[in-house]
Amino acid sequence: MHIPVLLEETIEYLAPRKAGELMVDATLGEGGHSEAFLSRFPDLKIIGVDADPEIQAVARRRLSSFGDRLHFHSGWAQDFFAAYPGELKRPDTILIDLGVSLFHYEKSGRGFSFRKDEALDMRLDTSSGSTAADLVNRLPEKELADLLYHNAEERRSRRIARAIVEQRGRGNIGTSAALAKVVEQAVPVSGRSGGIHPATLTMQALRIAVNGELSRLPHLLEGALRVLEPGGRLGVITFHSLEDRIVKNFFREQNKNCTCPPDAPICRCEGRRSVNILTRKGLAAGDDEIRRNPPSRSARLRVVEKVLENG
């Protein structure tokens, strides 16, 4: 079962501050964070959102004992916020955990892990969109190299893209294990980083591309902040520098009192800050948590509070 990262830190910052609050778990996954919040705060209600109906079914079973305190929504979170019903109570708290669940790596059968020989799919929502195999086998070499570099900062992107194109000239690359083998053979032993498998960043880049993770994120943040109750809190857990940079910069912009260009002689925007930043540097997991739950080593939690006067 997936272990929620930075759980105690998340609860410390996002715990209800009054009775009858509503929380949106915008990336429900297997429901680990929601289970902890519902267990500790009996008056809290949660809306759980997830784009993957298969993992939402896992969460429904796990959280069934909480009855009508938890409601489910199937779909992408940014779409949920964009169409948030005006008659529905605005959430007091929103949690966005951008990590990929253990379920997807171990049980989905969609090729998320290079340790398994599975069809190279990687879609969270399998009802639409291109698969990872589509990208690997169809993209021109330069586009493939750019994808690897921009989505995962893979320094060997050109070498890997060239190897993939050469391999697919002999036949399509259809599984995660086959792709991992191509990448491993393309990266010399001298160029590998510690104990990290050479295909790690390639798999990350493809997953991000298939699910539009980086392109969706700004819209997700904007939508979440818009529907959040004034005085409410928004927490985001990131797992790599690219998405963390987007979150950090978004919060920083929303924290500005003035949005005029730096060279403007006087302020004309009449803007006011939208949020107060509660975690200046982002919270990282401690040594004990990293030992218990290794995926937490790259996690960062950033939290803001929506200011009252901007509601």
CA dihedral angle for residue 23, residue 28, residue 32, residue 37, rounded to 10 degrees: 0
Greater confidence (157 vs 128) lies with 157
Query: Exposed, middle or buried by CB within 10 Å (0-12, 13-18, 19+), for 90?
Result: middle
d(CA 42, CA 73): 21
pLDDT for residue 310: 47
Q: Work out the pLDDT band at 1, boundaries 50, 70, 90.
A: low
**229 vs 43: CA distance, rounded Å:** 17
pLDDT of residue 47: 98
Task: Work out the pLDDT band at 308, boundaries 50, 70, 90.
Answer: low
Share of the chain above pLDDT 70, in %: 97
> What average pLDDT score do residues 41-48 get?
98
pLDDT of 167 over the 90 cut: yes
b/e for 55-73, b at 16 or more Cβ within 10 A? bbebbeebbeebeeebebb
pLDDT confidence of residue 86: 87
Position 311 pLDDT exceeds 50 = no
DSSP letter at 91? P
pLDDT tier at 309 (50, 70, 90 boundaries)?
A: low
**112 within 8 A of 54, measured Cβ to Cβ:** no
Indicate the range of 116-120, 223-227, 297-301, 304-308 predicted with least confidence. Answer: 304-308
Hey, which residues does 204 pair with through a beta bridge? Answer: none
- pLDDT greater than 50 at residue 81: yes
Q: What's the mean per-residue pLDDT of the chain?
A: 93
What pLDDT sits at residue 302? Answer: 98
Strands (E), the chain: 22-25, 45-50, 70-74, 93-97, 233-238, 275-277, 283-284, 300-306
Q: Which domains does the chain have, with CATH numbers?
A: 7-97+213-310 (3.40.50.150), 109-210 (1.10.150.170)
Do 95 and 49 touch, CB atoms closer than 8 A? no
Residue 268: what pLDDT?
75
Q: Say whether pLDDT at 205 is over 50.
A: yes
